[in-house]
Structure 1
Amino acid sequence: MIQQQTILKVSDNSGAKTVKCIKVLGGFKKRYAKLGETIIVSVQELRNKSKITSKIQKKEIYKALIIQTKKKFKKKDGLTIFIDNKNNNSVVLMNKKGSPIATRILAPIPVNLKKKKLSKFLSISTGLI
């Protein structure tokens, strides 16, 4: 569950390292965002190698898709999924049109995003959970 002021890690090769959640999209007084929802983020830190040649600048605002959270995700068939690694809360940056900025996603993506018509993200990801 992601809320405002949460620091998130970026799991793609766009050039950003960490971002901060500014707003949770999807309602007037919505407080929390779950897996597969979009949020508005501000770039806090860039990766060292891409500071000069990056498309992304620090303190810019982008939309992001949540692909991993610390909270366990329960499927309808009873399976519970949780990711046990350092990139617990992670996102993928996207442009205003809704397509990904990056060319590769470095973390596996949950299968439930297939139903939400996010096939562009599934095609460039490393795998599915």
Structure 2
Amino acid sequence: MIQPQTHLNVADNSGARELMCIRVIGASNHRYAHIGDVIVAVIKEAVPNTPLERSEVIRAVIVHTRKELKCDNRMIIRYDDNAAIVVDQ
């Protein structure tokens, strides 16, 4: 469960290393984002000499969450970190 002010690792090679969630995209009453949801985030840490810079506002898709995801076949999926992938605007 990702909510505003949550820090996430970046799971792609876009040049960003760490993000902070600003807003969960969707209905106005969505408080938390889960795997597959789109968020608005700000870059907190980036690799030097890449197109993405620190304090840039971007969109990202959640791919890992520490909170477990329960499937219909009694399977539980849990990751060690919260991570997202940067999406083109």
TM bucket (normalised to shorter chain) is: over 0.9
Q: Secondary structure at the match of 1:76?
A: coil
Q: CA deviation at 1:29?
A: 2.3
Aligned match of 2:34: 34
Structure 2 portions without partners, runs of 5+: none
Question: Which structure has the larger Rg over C-alpha atoms?
Answer: 1
Q: Percent identity?
A: 34
Superposed, which structure 2 residues align to 1:41-56 within 5 Å? Answer: 41-47=41-47, 51-52=48-49, 54-56=50-52
Aligned match of 1:80: 76
- Poorly superposed stretches of 4+, deviation over 2 Å: none
Aligned match of 1:90: 83
Q: CA deviation at 1:58?
A: 1.1
Higher relative contact order (CA 8 A, sep 6+): 2
Choose between structure 1 and 2: higher helix proportion.
Answer: 1
Aligned match of 2:24: 24
State the alpha-carbon separation in 2 of the partners of residues 11 and 41 from structure 1.
14
Matched, 1:61 2:85: no
TM-score by length of 1: 0.66
TM-score by length of 2: 0.94
